[in-house]
Amino acid sequence: MTITREVRAEAHFWRVRIDEGLNPNERREFDAWMAKDALHRELYAEACLIWHGLGEVELSPLLRRQPRAAPSQIETAVQAKEYEPLFARFQAFLTPQISAGALTAIVLATLIFTSGIGSQIWPQPTAEQLTFATEKGQRKIVNLPDGSQVTLGAQSELELTLSETQRLAVLSKGNAFFDVSSDPDRPFITQTELVSVEVTGTKFDVQLGENSVNIAVGEGAVEVSQDLKQTDTSPLRKSISLEAGQQINSTRLSGFGPVNEVFPAEFAAWRVGRLIYLRAELSEIVADLNRYSDQPIELADGIGGLVVSGTYDADDPAAVLDELSLGLPIRVISEAETLRVVRR
């Protein structure tokens, strides 16, 4: 994304709004804006630094006493070089403690950061970004700088961004178990292609399927949100709260399913090499096995929808296929480089 006056103005707009306090809907809107692009997070960090530097003249309370202006209005004022109206706008809220010289500095700083020059003269503290990935058959435990711990399943990919306002984890592939260190001032948000999960401190598990995601909670509570419809401004969202011992599955086509109980022995069992399924389709099981198997497993047409329940050893995919063939009308053909599952 290219830096524009409007995007920079949005960052400063959010900085002022957070000083006022956000309601839950506004907090979700802000989190979505932050998560949308790394540039948003950088510009917000820049805005925090600028406002901190201007704190001695208490500009933020002055702005809060006027009606909220859209970021586009700030951009229009700068493009038209309406310096005098902008100066008058702040001057109307002057207190005796603010000198004319200080006001001039404030207006100058405002014009600098909205005109795009700010990035050249202000230091930009960047959020800490970390990327983790696992190979086929590998599980990895990662200790995060904030005291949290993440366990990644085989062939998983996770990108983490730590800032002063939030902790953002983007799981693009595989499984991840999160043991989140409590920090009420910095929510921990986990995003996938289908849903986002927000917590301040808890233990929960996220497993990605081909067209679905399963979220299970071991301790604490989480808020799970899903995009329902993309509009010109922002997506509509549906949210659901989960407590310890609960899980939910969300699919691309039908959204959230029912909330189900998850037993302690089943919770994130993949961490110890066990794959547990309840009425799962064969295609889902084979997709999981392919993250552990040295030989690619291929499914013949027409059998991926077969449904099965059971507990299997993830570290022995061939034995899992043999076990599946005992209860399903399938057989396994070992070819030169692949294992092919066909109808029996």
Q: What is the DSSP string of 111-140?
A: HHHHTT-HHHHS--PPPEEEEEE--TT--E
Q: Which residue has the higher pLDDT, 259 or 11?
A: 259
Q: Which residue has the higher pLDDT, 67 or 334?
A: 334
Percent of the chain with pLDDT over 90: 45
Is 11's pLDDT higher than 50?
yes
pLDDT band at 32 (very low <50, low <70, confident <90, very high): confident
Is 267's pLDDT higher than 60?
yes
The residues, ordered by sequence, that sit 6+ positions from 232 with a Cβ below 8 Å of its Cβ are none
The pLDDT, as a whole number, for residue 206 is 97
Is 21's pLDDT higher than 90?
no
pTM of the complete model: 0.61
Query: Highest mean pLDDT range out of 18-22, 28-32, 174-178?
Result: 174-178
The pLDDT, as a whole number, for residue 61 is 42
pLDDT band at 266 (very low <50, low <70, confident <90, very high): confident
The pLDDT, as a whole number, for residue 237 is 55
Place of tokens 């930009």: 124
Q: Which amino acid is at 1?
A: M
45 with 39: CB under 8 angstroms?
no
What is the token pair recorded at 118? 């700010």
What is d(CA 197, CA 180) in angstroms, rounded to the nearest whole number? 12
Per-residue pLDDT tens digits for 275-293: 998 888 999 999 999 999 9
Is 4's pLDDT higher than 70?
no
Per-residue pLDDT tens digits for 34-63: 888 778 877 777 676 665 544 444 444 434
Q: Which residue has the higher pLDDT, 185 or 122?
A: 185
Cα 29 vs. chain centroid, distance in angstroms? 13
Per-residue pLDDT tens digits for 56-107: 444 444 343 344 444 444 444 434 444 344 344 444 433 444 444 444 444 4
Per-residue pLDDT averaged across 174-184, rounded? 94
Q: Among 175-179, 218-222, 227-231, which stretch is predicted with the lowest mean pLDDT?
A: 227-231
What is d(CA 200, CA 218) in angstroms, rounded to the nearest whole number? 14
Per-residue pLDDT tens digits for 95-142: 444 444 444 444 444 444 444 444 333 344 457 889 999 999 999 999
Per-residue pLDDT averaged across 301-315, rounded? 93
189 with 167: CB under 8 angstroms?
yes
The pLDDT, as a whole number, for residue 100 is 47
Is 319's pLDDT higher than 70?
yes
